[in-house]
Every structure is written in C-alpha cells, then in structure tokens.
Structure 1
Amino acid sequence: MSADRGVVVVGASLAGLRGAEALRRGGYAGPLTLVGDEPYQPYDRPPLSKHVLAGELRPDATALPHLVDLDATWRLGQPAVGLDRAARMLRLADGSALPYEKLLIATGARARSWPVTEKTGPLPSGIHTLRSRDDAAALRAALAAGPKRVLIVGAGLIGCEAASCCRDLGLAVTLADPNPTPLARILGSRIGGVIVSCLDTAGVDFRPGTHVDAFEADAAGRVCRARLKQGAAIETDCVIVALGATRDTGWLAEAGLMADEGGLTCDVACRALDADGQPAPGIYAAGDVARTPNPLHVGRLAAFEHWGNAVAQAGHAARNMLAAEDDQQEYRHLPAFWSSQFGINIKGVGLADGADTVAVMQGSRASRRFLAVYGREGRTIAAISFDQARWLPAYAERIEAGVAFPPILGATDQSIKDFGVPDFPQPRSR
C-alpha cells in the first residue's frame, strides 16, 4: 500500500469508526483519515429515538467509545462531494481533495424527507425527521415545549418508537400509515396487528390506510394541520416524518459505481462494484450504505440498517482491504434487530419479508408475549420475539443452516396453535 496515500474512510459513524479500528488491529500502520459530514465524533444512533427524545440522555452524551488508538486525521463537518477513481482522489465540500490508496465507504443513510416541489412550496416549520444528533436535539426541544398533538407519519420502527416515547411524555399522538398495521413491511400485518393493540392500550390514535397528502401552516408559518388524500384533515402542531431512509450515495453520481438511493452495490467480499459489475480497485463499503448479496436469500441484494451488521461488516471489509487479491473472504451475516416500544422488547433475526407462512411457536399474540417463526417455500427464514427471546438464538442457528420450517418441534413450552399467512404489503413502486 502506498506510504503517502494510505486509507481514507468516508463516513464517521459506527461503521466508519469500527472499520478504522479493525484496520489498526489488523496491522495497518500507514496514514488513516476519517471523513464525516457532521461536526461530531462518531456517536450511537439507537438512543436518539428513545433516551434522547425522552430527555433521559443529552444528545452530546451518545458518543461511541474508541476501542483502539487510531492515530488518525479527522475531517469532520466536511461531506464528500465527489470521487475520481482514476486519480484515486476524494473531493470534499470545502474544495479540498484527499488522495487514497484504498477507500472504505461507510456513509450510511439519511432520513427520507417530505417531498418538496414547486407546487407544494416550502414546508411549514414544526416538521421533523429523526436520524442525526441535531435532529434528535431539535425534536426533543419541540416535544419539551408541549405540543397539542404530535402527528407521526410512518409506522415503522422509528415511528413506533417515537409514538411510544411521546405517550410516555403525556403527549397526544396520532400515528398515520398507509398499511393496515404498524411494522407491516418487516413483520407482516398478522404479527404487526399485535402493535395495534399496544397502540390502543397506550392511547395512540392510530390511522391505518391513511395517506398524508400535504401540510398547512398557520399565520406564523408553523404547521397546523395535515391534509389527507381521503379528503379529511388532522390537526397538529408538531410532525415527525418517519418514512424510512435513503442511502447516502448522491456524492457517487459521477463515480461510475453501481450506486443509487438503495445503496452501493458490492460483491460478497464487500468490494464496491463499478458500472460493469466488476470490483472497483481499492474501494470497499460497509454499514447501511453497502448493498450486498445475502446468502440466506440467493439472488437478492440487501442493505441493512442494523447496528450489529455495521460493526461486523466494517470489520470484515477492513480485513479484506489488508488481504491479498486471492484472499478475499465472503461476508456472511445473519440480519438482526431490536426495538423497545410500549414496554415491549422486540427482537428479530433473519429477513421475514417474502415469507409465505408464519407460526407462533411459544406464547400467544393475545398475551403480547410470544415467538413467531417465518417460513418460505418450506425453509425457515426469520424469527421474531415479543418479550420471549429465550429461543431466539436456537432459531438463529437453524435459519443460518437453512433447515425446514418450522425448525423446532416438541419444546416443553411450545404451543403451536397459530399458523397463517404473514400478509406483507405490496412492495413500494419506484
């Protein structure tokens, strides 16, 4: 590796930090630069939608620990704006350029904002997204001011966690989503229906099948209501837009890589692919931005917004960056996530979307304490627990092994009475 160019890591968040640390642990002693679009040292994102919104933790108290002495140069508050692969040069927003021998792209994702067009005009104030430390600080201040009603648009993980937090703060909440249940895209409506009962118990006004069309402002320019496509309206003075995320790949538009808002496509070794589908020399990716083949779903590319994946993939990419071309190892990772909402700890392993069958193997949906297993074409592909995680590691092993569905029968605490179709919504149109 060139002594003067060294390694540049683009993205100073979890994957970027852990990737840089893995390079040092792997024996790399050359120049190392970390580039971040935010002015902060790497911080942890999961607490933002929980402890920070609740006022239990300050936004600046979420810094990630540094596990290795990096001896690195930090370029914070300077987003990457372009990449010249031929010259091996990264361009930053301040006009400077960084040469590199090898590049780790870990730019993550951005919250999907509400679309603004010439027809809609600028958005009123009081409309928030939740992805960054600054987002969390602004939203926490808005919630602390005591809005009359918080409208959350989107009932995914962030939307549901925010709704739970708002109710804990005693705020009136309306949660609107076009699907019949919350978390429908990751759990299916059969299991997502359990969250409906949680919302009802918590006093959340849940509006399924609801499409928000536009927002209206009062005389001061602050949001005062949301207009629905169905013709009705919801009065609100604080809005949280929780419509998912787009991968941070816009700066790669002219780089000749296979990149779009769905991610940067990589091969099984975490090497970024060029427009012809070939590994781009010296360029790797990890974390939310990396769209890689999934060995559990042959022929499918996926980018995961999971904490564990960011750490594991960054370490694997760093390993391959230091290895010879004939020693590039395949990245294998079982997706996993967790969420805490409405007093329930939800954990999942595998990818449930695409399943054709789901079975509750322990507990019951009515009790809100159960473990559900998903199958597709006779094979077990995912498991989800609601305060019932005892068996989850055993199912994770069997999912990785590709065993038949359902994989565990005859357990002492088992009561299989609940089989059915998961009922996933149709994929979003592009």
Structure 2
Amino acid sequence: MAADGEGSAGARGMTAPVYLDYQATTPLAPEALAAMLPWLESQHANPHSAHPPGRAARAAVEVARDAVTALLPAGGTLSFTGGATESLNWALKGVGPGTIVTIATEHAAVLDTVAALAAAGRPVTVLPVAADGLVDLDAARAAIVPGVALVAAMLVNNEIGVIQPIAELAALAHAAGALMLCDAVQGYGRLAVPEACDLVAISAHKVHGPKGIGALWIRDGVALAPLLHGGGQEAGGRSGTLSPALCAGFGAAARLMAERRDKDAAHVAALWGRAREGFADWALNGSAGARYHGNLNMRRAGVDVARLMSEVRGVAFSAGSACASGSGRPSHVLKAIGLADAAARSSIRIGFGRYTTIDEIDRAAALIGAAAERQGVQAA
C-alpha cells in the first residue's frame, strides 16, 4: 500500500512534485507495464492474423478482455476501443432513432457529441442537477418517456466526484423503452457498475493502465451502428487492428483493481480524511455523501487559481477538468451546480489514490494553503 512507501516520494526523490491529478490520469501500475513489455519488445504479431504468432497475440487479447469484463455486468460483450471518448461517441451515435437524454454535468465527450447530434436534427434533452451535483430525478421522470432512445449518465463525475443514481435512471430508461449508457470511466474498478446498464464506457488510463485504449461493454441483444468502418474485427463491429500491448496492460490493470479493491478503498478513505483536515479552510463542491472519496473539489473565496497553480510548482493538481483546461471558461460542472463565475474560478480539484501517501497529502495541503494565504484570501 502507498502508505507503507509504495510509490512514495522517497522512491521518486524528495524534489519530485506531489501528483494529485488522478482524475486526469493515473500512474501506470508496474504490473501493467510488465504485461505490456513483451508485446512491445519482441512479440509483434497482428492479433487478427491466423498464423501461430497471430493466434498467440489473439490469446493475449482475450485474456485481457476476460480480466476487463470481470468488473462489468454479466450478459454482455466487451469491445476494445481507442479510449472512452471513442466508446461514448460510438454509443451515442450508434443507437436507433429517438431522443437522447443526458445530464448537464457530463463529460465533454458526451455533451459535445449530443450537441453535434442536436445540430444535425436529433432531439436531445439535458437534465439539470441540484446544488449537490445530483441529477434532478423529477426532471428525469418528466423527460424519460416513450420516444427516448438512450439515457446517458456518468457513474462518478470527473470534476466533483459525485455518484449519480445510475440504477434509478436505468429503471426510468427501461420503463420508457430506452437504453441506458453509463460513462463508468471514473468509477470502473472502484464502484460496482449497476447491472441494469445496457452500454458501459471505460478507459484504461484511469485505472493505472496505459493511455490509448478503452472499451465499450454492450449488453447482449443491443445492436449499434458502427462508428468506424473497416474490417469489423472487434465484438460489436468495431474496426481497427488492436494493440496486444495496450490490451495486456489494460487487462493487468483491471486484475489489480479487482485484487486490490478493498485495500485501495481503505487507503483512499484514509487519504480523504487527511485531505479534509488539511484543507479545512476550503468549502467542498458537490455532495459530501454521494461521492467517490478519491476526488476532492473545493473552493476558497478570493483565490486566484491561475496564480496558485503557477506558484505551487511542487504539487500537480487541477483547476478543473484537464479536458477543458486552458479554455478560460469556468467549469461547466461548477456552473451547473449553481456556483457563480468567481466561485467556480476559485475552485481546485485534487485527486489521489493507490500510489499517494499521507505525507504527500500533508505536503500538498501545506504548500497550497501557504500560497493561498500569501494572496490574502479568507477561509471559506
């Protein structure tokens, strides 16, 4: 466990920045790297080839597929993709005709895709959230009616860590004859993905696997139009040559998530408690109860976050979603929960997990707190 020194600052050198941006990406597990190396160094066959090296590569892919699928609902097939963005695009664009219903705090991979579909004439409904970040279920009941094709919602929000009521939304979707798409990128391997989901998008690099690979789980009986046309090599008709190395890394990371689930959860709970103590002068953004505790999004009135990030070079943290950083716009998630622009712009997100130590949380709190105090801002 990290608290015992695993991935500690000592191993990296005391001058290394404290890495607290786990929602943007997680450190690659050594076991995932070890699983990948043979397929990068000497085993280069195409897994779609029929000769013995190709069959060996295919076998490695299938072993990885089994490991990744083990953390998902029963009764479906897994198609490897280039990442969760591709998976979400495929699900949203591949369903049959009808309205798409989603939530105002979803990832840009969902919101930008449904905006493009709406511009092309597809009916889209975007549901509001309350101040705690949870979807308005009354609005959902009113919107999820016959004629809806798909309901898309994130299990764990990438910016504020809020856990949405996916099972309840799935029940509403099914009662209306619609499918349920769950963006489980931040929750996969940490929380159980509700069995009622019909489509589930996941990503390797959020669970200590490699970047460049994700997957879409498709319930048996659900058919999607292809997003990519070509050889149709993957389950569900996804086209493109798979990388055995990336698949192997994803599989190893998934196995670790399963094996270490309780250990990792206990460690994250301890880190969360220490972080809440260290950042006691900051106000929490989003629900305190319905959330994943590896995500701490908080605000302190008057903080200039751009200046804060510039001054605190010893900590890698975020001013919001890494996917929207640099846009100059306040976070759409923080705006959706009712924060004014000033409050949204005085918010930061720190994310931690398996390889974070208690000492790193303490150092980060001290460095960020001191920098905020130098700005002369008041406690929340």
Give the structure with the higher percent strand: 1
What TM-score range do you get, normalising by the shorter chain?
Answer: 0.3 to 0.5
Give the structure with the higher percent helix: 2
TM (norm. structure 1) is 0.30
- RCO greater where, 1 or 2, for CA within 8 Å and sep 6 or more? 2
